[in-house]
Structure 1
């Protein structure tokens, strides 16, 4: 199995690389420090599995990168490796293309099992997250996402991409240049974000983005 590891801490990338390279059937072919670099490494190496952290400040988070990578490289299985044992993050990444979700404090043998499981195309969820959460996710996948009580879940992929950029202080022109869209498009998305999330000011938007782990100051 060819594997790419994405985590903002170099020591974590090195540690997991040593564990995985020790396995006879695994090889770490690349590492990345954020979601943007993870996308580039996946494009370069076409790995079988991408093991990716959710929060990688100050770069793009795994939360945002998951849907982009899953859509562009469907043959690469994404395993989320995180400290957040939160059902909201679990549901979000599984809905957006991840095949597995495991906590960073899991034993090495559990991590190895998770990688081998997602490699086969099966879904793996950390043992600390209850079976009821998975059953709830499966039963809700056919329902309209707009019916959920959390407004975050009704944001489009582009809006989720723009939200942290606004929170980090980028202007409309800077965001437009980064995403190769017009300033008017950015302004429209910004308006929609504020309306959907029922936010009235930029400080509220920043606080919301931090709560969702989209930015970290």
Structure 2
């Protein structure tokens, strides 16, 4: 039995996907989340085989960043993107970051079902309504080059988890409660983030995060 996590910021979408998946043999939705950060925290508990997630779940961490972080830390978890984002730049980046499948919300139900079964077998799956060009394949293989994230990649795993909360205006106490760390530790992470990114204010951090698509507002 494949244990599935469904992530979408709209409860009605989560309910629909859960009902559909639970009707399939060998698949069971055991968790539902509404943000990328919540997804990352849930999979730390183990027992998740497949994630079906929307890329855009504002306010919070950009889904592309979530995919990359999950794939790097839990490469055996299979990620299926089920999104309204149909632009090639999102599709290409999601696959490059580690997603095994990409299905459009505008497509027929069978696309999600077929995609789920394919990635469960370890195969990649792209919605039949997605047209892939040679240029897209180059991006998927080589990654994007339009943004310089050299400073961002120096952040630790925990600092990358803390960053979107800071950008969204959460207090140290609120962040500590969500991530199960002390407020003093949160403050230390904040200082390290600002130093590593060479920023001096929340406004600068907000601009940096939005410019580099690290959060969805």
Same fold (TM over 0.5): yes
Aligned twin of 2:34: 33
Aligned twin of 1:137: 139
Q: SS at 1:75's partner residue? A: coil
Aligned length: 207
Matched, 1:3 2:7: no
**Residue pairs, 1:1-217, within 5 angstroms:** 1-44=2-45, 46-126=47-127, 127-140=129-142, 148-152=145-149, 155-156=152-153, 158=156, 161-170=161-170, 183=187, 186-193=190-197, 202-203=202-203, 205-207=205-207, 209-210=209-210, 212=213, 214-216=215-217
Residue 42 of structure 1 deviates from its aligned partner by 3.1
TM-score, normalising length: structure 2: 0.73
Given that 1:53 and 1:62 are in contact with CA atoms closer than 8 Å, whether structure 2 keeps it comes out as yes
Residue 7 of structure 1 deviates from its aligned partner by 1.1
Given that 2:6 and 2:29 are in contact with CA atoms closer than 8 Å, whether structure 1 keeps it comes out as yes
Residue 94 of structure 1 deviates from its aligned partner by 2.8
Cα distance, 1:164–1:88 mapped onto 2, change above 3 Å:
farther
Given that 1:5 and 1:13 are in contact with CA atoms closer than 8 Å, whether structure 2 keeps it comes out as yes
Cα distance, 1:189–1:91 mapped onto 2, change above 3 Å:
farther
Structure 1: segments with no counterpart, 5+ residues: none
**Pairwise CA RMSD:** 3.4
